[in-house]
Amino acid sequence: MKKHAVLITVLFALAVTLVSVSAVFWEFYKLNKHQYIDHIFSKHETITQIYREHLQKNTSQIMLEANLAVYKFVIENDENEKKRILENSKLLKHKNFKRVDEAIMLNNQGLYTQKVVRDLRISMVELSKTIYFYIESPIGSVMIQDEELKPYKYYSIAYSYLTIILIISISFVLILQRLRPLIRLRRKIALFGNGDMNISFKTSGSDEIALVSNELESTREKINSLLDSRTLFLRNIMHELKTPIAKGTIATQMLRTTKERDRFSSIFGRLETLVEEFALIEEVTSVHDKSDFKEYRLIDIIDGAIDMAMIDRSSVTIDIDAMPKLIVSYRLYTTAIKNMIDNGIKYSPDSHVKILIINNELCFESKGECIAHPLQYYIEPFTKENPSKNSFGLGLYLVDSILKVHEQVLAHEYDNGVNRFIFA
């Protein structure tokens, strides 16, 4: 997910925006519909007034229908139809109120006014896009249809909602289109980091992403130029050093005494070893293309390392079966294992190294005292445990550099008199 953080952020923003806009329009739709229903429900006052006068004056049904017809209200007289409407309609709103009827009465004391309070209930219902008002009273009920009144229509709100959603979607599509060069740039940077030094970041355009791409292209060219100069310089230096070393080795044989010959042979031999190690360091640090990495059996790599170390095989115990395989550079990985074998034999009192697999990790065990410093100290160039040893202190530095090329690390642990170096 981290590789697509920007894209995920944009999509998340789009989702939040769409949900927020949808929620706002939904609330607006409900509010607008509620206001519309409240507005048309106000017509019940006219209906109630007409119906009340009908009850008070006890007028005929024809007179009631005539009074309602003035406002284009129609009474539904079919009882079966009325029942069907009540069972299948959707209740929009209802209201309870009291109706007060007054009548003049005569008793022994004379005339008096009698007030009768009756409960009324009016409901507004909708069926098949038609609005009905249903009035219930203690003495009867009536179903009235409003011929002019139409149900609430949401088309205008839906049109506005879809228009805004379309605008937002198009805007985010345009944003994603603008981010596509950034995605391509990320892929190119990944390829460059994996060793493709010839990939081009150059692009046309004048926006921010194009400017960054062109700056990266300029930086890539400078890096390639520096790497080429460095490689050429190191190779020339090593080539120039090998010639006097070879001449010195030959001239050593002309010395008169054996002691002098051995001393100078040792000096030139160490110089030649140092040049070879420098050449290997240059090779490791300049590895960018991993196309030569192939699959090898681990046991074959270890056998090649032992042959390279030119040691007696009895000095190495191998506790590894033939199954494990690695995708590595054969030359570099055998060099790393060879250095670990040399290191174990050189610093262990019994001059013996055991190679085994623990928790799917390659381990090198040798007896001896625990190293005096943290491992980080020994993987720095030109550091070593014992200055009297015939070494330049580049062994573990080379091992660590080779493992980094193979996306591994060198680790160390000490257990009951055994130093264990681990390729993790």
Q: What local confidence, expressed as pLDDT, does residue 118 receive?
A: 57
b/e map 55-92, b = 16+ CB within 10 Å: beeeeeeeebeebbeeeebeeeeeeeebeebbeebeeb
* 43 — pLDDT class (breaks 50, 70, 90): low
pTM score, whole prediction: 0.46
Q: For the chain, give every domain's residue range.
A: 2-39+155-182, 44-146, 225-285, 294-423
175-221 pLDDT, tens digit per residue, is: 877 777 777 777 787 777 766 777 887 777 777 777 888 888 888 88
**DSSP assignment of 196-250, as one string?**
-TT--------SHHHHHHHHHHHHHHHHHHHHHHHHHHHHHHHHHHHHHHHHHHH
* 98 — pLDDT class (breaks 50, 70, 90): low
CA distance 197 to 170: 38
CA of 320: how far to CAs of 36, 114, 301, in Å? 84, 114, 12
Residue 385 pLDDT more than 70? no
Q: How far is CA 125 from the centre of its chain?
A: 52
282-324 pLDDT, tens digit per residue, is: 666 665 556 678 888 988 988 888 887 778 888 888 888 888 8
The CATH code belonging to domain 294-423 is 3.30.565.10
Residue 154: name the closest of 304, 28, 15, 275 by CA.
28
**DSSP annotation of 133:** E
56-97 pLDDT, tens digit per residue, is: 667 777 787 777 777 777 887 787 888 888 888 888 877 776
User: What's the whole-number average pLDDT of the chain?
Assistant: 76
CA 176, 179, 183, 184 torsion: positive or negative?
positive
